[in-house]
Amino acid sequence: MARLLAAQKSNQELVEALYLNVLSRYPTLDESLKATSLLQTGNRRAQAEDILWSLYNKVDFVFNY
């Protein structure tokens, strides 16, 4: 997470990197829109951490890993 944030990636690039790292797939259009809009509000690091935790708790991750 720290490296992704330090790399100054755009919100879209950050969301894609999080999805690829956790679920090994790109986000759907709907997932991408929701996540990027979340990153635009408040503390970017805290919002990115929230997205990361939600991905770890996503059914895709729980049943595949």
Residue 20 neighbours by CB under 8 Å, 6+ apart: 26
Give me the pLDDT at residue 64, please: 61
| Structure token digits, residue 37 | 């809009």
Give me the pLDDT at residue 59, please: 72
Q: What is the domain extent for residue 36?
A: 2-64
Give me the pLDDT at residue 33, please: 96
Count the domains in the chain.
1
Tens-binned pLDDT, residue by residue, of the chain (65 aa): 888 889 999 999 999 999 999 989 999 999 999 999 999 988 999 999 999 999 988 776 656 65
Count of C-beta atoms within a 10 Å radius of residue 39 = 20
Model confidence, pTM: 0.86
